[in-house]
Copies of this chain bind each other. A is one copy, B any other.
Amino acid sequence: MSKYYSQYAKAYVSVDCIVFGFDDNKLKFLAGRRKLQPGYGEWALYGGFVGTEESVDDAASRVLHELTGLKDIYMKQVGTFGELNRSEGERVISVAYVALINVKDYDEKNLLEKELHWVSLENIPKMFADHNEMVNTAVRMLRRRIITEPISFQLLPEYFTLTQLQNVHEAVLNTELDKRNFRKKVKHLPYIIKTDKIDKLTSKRGAALYRFDDATTID
């Protein structure tokens, strides 16, 4: 292996994950107390360093798996944060990733073991370094995407009611939506499929359960 670039400086490259979940009709994300210096004990996103034998995207997948126990979850690059002062001591450049999960799939044991919390968007604490900025960018990205791309169901279980789906949209967009208009729009979406299952838990009358259809998303 020749060293073509040896006259330049290297930097640590890390990934930080904004994992969104939908719970209690609120959009929340996972954050914990930092276990490393610098910033030990501060609120922070869960992250990790990019290893020598993995791509940056693979590192994000790995870290997301460590964090959630889940595989193949929705994940997108948010952006790269490379200010000089973002981490004292050593130069660290961080690539932020957003992920969407169904909180029911998340093993609560992880919260205790890793001392993580679901943080509601209304109560975001001051976080380590530029992590607040990462979260803000991720939220903006999610808001843009949820109206143009089929991703909202990623925050729900396999089978969901239209009311739940609407609640997700309302929580993400931080607005109220008209029930009839919302349902009308959903009817035209090819990838939201009505099933013959009925949910009897959340209402006395019972609500039809829908599911997402992967097959119709190839466009």
Residues in A lying within 8 Å of B, measured CB to CB: 1-6, 8-13, 36-38, 49-57, 59, 77, 79-84, 89-93, 95
Contacts and interface: CB of A to CB of B under 8 A. Distances in A.
A156 B33 CA distance: 49
Contact of A82 (B6, B53, B56, B91): B56
B37 A55 contact: no
A145 to B, nearest CB: 11
B84 A54 contact: yes
A9 B52 contact: yes
25 contacts: A1-B89, A1-B90, A3-B89, A4-B37, A4-B89, A5-B90, A6-B90, A8-B12, A8-B49, A9-B51, A10-B10, A10-B12, A11-B11, A11-B12, A11-B13, A13-B93, A52-B91, A55-B82, A56-B81, A77-B79, A77-B80, A79-B79, A79-B80, A80-B95, A82-B95
Contacts of A10: 10-13
Nearest to A38: B4
A5 to B, nearest CB: 5
Contacts of A83: 55-57
